């Protein structure tokens, strides 16, 4: 391990530098990380970075899924749950089935079970890649909500297919009744355990004398514990982490202090950035090893590349076809919902399904699943493991390079933001802040009438809020004034939490404003 530590530290430094370069070039950083990993792997004399396949899920997935659950716009998701469900389950299943048929028909020695195993690995799109691209282009909130919701659930659906395919490969048979019972337990057990232990963790935050560091440590333990306990009883660890994360995220203001939220946000941003960076670097670093494995299996490289390119084409076509089918079904059965996504002038163009179909970059989950394939099966090498790994790497590379580099251009050319019925984000931010200021002035005037506010600085603060000039100057506030001001900030926070129930205002706008209040509270506490 001590021999690999310098390499790992160097990789982290490279990840940071590449992210800076990607931001400057306005390119999604996963694309450059994969290329960098591939370049680094050819440097002679470097030690191999080896990861235990049995641990790959446990190391990377729980925190990545938990962060996604805490970041997702749950209210927006609830608007588009039908579309999200179709992408997360039906589209993943359709893509896996298409790849399974292709592999079974074209690749010698590939059974249908092995085909489904490959299909389950390459079927889920990667939210990190799409999110990195969306930093540089604006997309409608409806499209962002669908992509976020899909990323939460498609990992669970693909990994459930992966487990059943792995069982079928090992046993050589598939018993539908047993599979249905196992599937039901994986879903219900995962969701149930997520809710139960999510509630228990919330009570621990509330009842124990925690501070910001201990809250952050708890937040790191929670996803790993949820994943472990669910997998121990053979249910879905992914669903347990997602469900528990959503449960806690939607109650964060009831058990986390402003300090915990502010410090936790910075901690999780750094942690997730490093984890994603390491995984994408591993994609490039591992490719030469996989190629060496193909040669050991006497599989021609050109033939393996052909299979990877064909699988990529099938996946892209299947997702685009599914996107159009989902939009058509929505227009037929839910015309009111469809009209919310696109204005009348562009519904005929159907550019949104094409863009949704083109967002299917593969990444972290596909790599983790491929590396998690056991090396041995009944004492013999796992059949076609190296070929499955190579096809997965080709799919990841091609989708990142082709779709990842062209998606921003397609979004800009489509003018999709011009043809939506959504109110601009800046206008919504201004509206939320105006309503909060009006509520603040009302509360201050109410306290003033009751004679509760006698401090001159707070009197001046009322005028500042009314005129909306700037943040109040709070240096030198008395303890009484500080108490009333912190009380006011809490009133603002609760007002925004209540406003979040209004479907007009997106979650991200409300959370952004609450984060500003949290920052202000931390500043006041230091005075």
Rounded CA gap, 228 and 356, in Å? 33
> Is 419 within a domain?
no
Contact predicate 396/362, CB 8 Å? yes
Q: Is residue 171 part of a domain?
A: yes
At 139-188, the pLDDT tens digits run 777 777 777 777 777 777 787 888 888 887 877 666 666 667 777 888 88
Backbone dihedral region for residue 206 (phi beyond 0: left; psi -120 to 50: alpha; all else: beta): alpha
In the chain, the percentage of residues whose pLDDT exceeds 70 is: 78
pLDDT tops 50 at residue 474 = no
Q: Is residue 84 part of a domain?
A: yes
Nearest to 314 by CA among 500, 50, 105, 487: 105
State pLDDT tens for residues 328-346: 766 665 555 555 555 554 5
Residue 227: its pLDDT value, please?
A: 92
Q: Is residue 420 part of a domain?
A: no
Q: Specify the number of domains making up the chain.
A: 2
Lowest mean pLDDT among 260-274, 297-311, 429-443, 484-498: 429-443
pTM of the model: 0.74
Report the pLDDT value the prediction gives residue 225, as an integer from 0 to 100: 94
One domain, residues 475 and 374? no
Instruction: Give pLDDT tens digits for 211-248.
Output: 888 999 999 999 999 999 998 998 888 889 989 998 99
Q: Same structural domain for residues 390 and 477?
A: no
The last residue of a domain, from among 414, 446, 470: 414
* Residue 43: φ, ψ to 5°: -70, 120
H-state helical runs in 135-236: 141-171, 176-207, 212-232
Strands (DSSP E) contained in 318-423 are 376-377, 380-381
How high is the pLDDT of residue 166? 82
Higher pLDDT, 310 or 12: 310
Shared domain check, 180 and 72: yes
Q: Is residue 400 located within the same domain as residue 454?
A: no
> Mean of the pLDDT values across residues 371-381?
78
- Domain shared by 396 and 463, yes or no: no
Same domain for 318 and 449, yes or no, is: no
Residues 231 and 278 in one domain: yes
Q: What burial class does residue 522 get, using C-beta atoms within 10 Å of its C-beta: 0-12 exposed, 13-18 middle, 19+ buried?
A: middle
Q: Are 481 and 524 in contact (CB under 8 A)?
A: no
Domain that holds residue 448: 425-525
On whether both 117 and 233 belong to a single domain, the answer is yes
Task: With H, G, I as helix, E, B as strand and everything else as coil, classify residue 382.
Answer: coil
Q: How far apart are CA 388 and CA 380, in angstroms?
A: 16
SS3 readout for 63-92: HHHHHHHHHCCHHHHHHCHHHHHHHHHHHH
Three-state SS at 129: helix
**Is residue 378 domain-shared with residue 464, that is, in the same domain?**
no
Answer yes or no: do 240 and 282 share one domain: yes
Beta partners for residue 381, in sequence order = 376
Provide the mean pLDDT of the chain. Answer: 78
268 and 189 housed in the same domain: yes
| Boundary of a domain, candidates 414, 438, 465 | 414
Say if residue 409 is in the same domain as residue 443.
Answer: no
Residue 320 belongs to some domain of the structure: yes
Question: Mean of the pLDDT values across residues 24-37?
Answer: 79
The winner for highest mean pLDDT among 128-142, 399-413, 443-457 is 399-413
Q: Is 380 helix (H, G, I), strand (E, B) or coil?
A: strand
The answer, yes or no, to whether residue 195 has pLDDT greater than 90, is yes
pLDDT of 128 reads 67
Domain end position, chosen among 394, 414, 434? 414
Q: What is the structure's pLDDT at 330?
A: 65
CA neighbor of 240 nearest in space, from 301, 191, 285 = 191
Q: What is the mean pLDDT of residues 46-51?
A: 62
Question: CATH number for the domain including 283?
Answer: 1.20.1530.20
Tell me the residue length of the chain: 527
> Could you report the per-residue pLDDT of 311-325, keeping only the tens digit for each?
999 999 988 888 787
- Confidence band (pLDDT; 50, 70, 90) for 401? confident
Range of weakest confidence among 18-22, 323-327, 413-417: 413-417
| Phi, psi (deg, nearest 5) at residue 385 | -60, -45
């Amino acid at each position: 391990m001590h021999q690999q530590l310098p390499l790992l530290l160097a990789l982290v430094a490279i990840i940071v530098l590449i992210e800076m370069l990607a931001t400057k070039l306005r390119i999604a950083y996963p694309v450059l990380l994969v290329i960098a990993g591939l370049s680094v792997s050819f440097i002679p004399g470097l030690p191999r970075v080896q990861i235990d396949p049995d641990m790959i899920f446990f190391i990377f997935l729980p925190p990545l899924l938990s962060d996604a659950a805490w970041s997702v716009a749950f209210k927006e998701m609830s608007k588009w749950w039908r579309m999200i469900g179709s992408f997360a389950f039906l589209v993943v299943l359709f893509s896996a089935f298409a790849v399974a048929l292709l592999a079974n028909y074209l690749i010698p020695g590939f059974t249908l079970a092995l085909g489904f195993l490959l299909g389950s690995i390459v079927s889920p799109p990667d939210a990190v890649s799409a999110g990195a691209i969306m930093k540089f282009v604006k997309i409608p909130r409806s499209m962002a909500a669908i992509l976020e919701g899909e990323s939460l659930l498609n990992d669970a659906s693909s990994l459930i297919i992966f487990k059943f395919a792995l069982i079928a490969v090992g046993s050589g048979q598939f018993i539908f009744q047993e599979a249905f019972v196992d599937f039901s337990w994986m879903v219900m057990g995962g969701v149930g355990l997520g809710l139960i232990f999510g509630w228990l963790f919330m009570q621990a935050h509330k009842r124990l004398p925690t501070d910001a560091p201990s809250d952050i440590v708890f937040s790191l333990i929670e996803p790993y514990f949820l994943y472990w306990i669910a997998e121990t009883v053979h249910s879905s660890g992914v669903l347990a982490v997602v469900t528990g994360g959503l449960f806690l995220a939607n109650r964060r203001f009831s058990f986390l202090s402003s300090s915990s939220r502010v410090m936790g946000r910075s901690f999780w941003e750094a942690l997730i950035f490093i984890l994603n960076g390491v995984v994408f670097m591993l994609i490039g670093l591992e490719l030469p090893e996989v190629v060496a494995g193909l040669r050991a299996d006497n599989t021609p490289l050109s033939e393996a590349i052909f299979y990877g390119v064909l699988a990529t084409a099938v996946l892209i076509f299947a997702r685009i076809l599914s996107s159009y089918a989902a939009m058509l079904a929505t227009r037929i059965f839910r015309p009111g919902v469809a009209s919310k996504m696109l204005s009348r002038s562009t519904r005929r163009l159907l550019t949104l399904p094409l863009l949704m179909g083109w967002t299917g970059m593969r990444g972290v989950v596909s790599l983790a699943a491929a590396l998690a394939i056991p090396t041995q099966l009944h004492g013999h090498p796992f059949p076609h493991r190296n070929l499955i790994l190579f096809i997965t790497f080709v799919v990841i590379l091609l989708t990142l390079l082709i779709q990842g580099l062209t998606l921003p251009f397609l979004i800009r050319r489509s003018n999709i933001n011009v043809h939506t019925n959504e109110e601009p984000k800046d206008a919504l931010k201004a509206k939320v802040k105006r309503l909060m200021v009006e509520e603040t002035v009302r509360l201050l005037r109410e306290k003033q009438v009751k004679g509760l506010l006698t401090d001159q600085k707070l009197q001046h603060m009322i005028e500042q809020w009314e005129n909306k000039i700037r943040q109040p100057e709070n240096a030198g506030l008395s303890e009484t004034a500080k108490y009333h001001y912190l009380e006011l900030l809490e009133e603002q926070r609760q007002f925004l939490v209540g406003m979040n129930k209004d479907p007009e205002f997106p979650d991200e706008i409300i959370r952004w404003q609450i984060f500003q209040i949290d920052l202000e509270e931390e500043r006041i506490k230091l005075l």
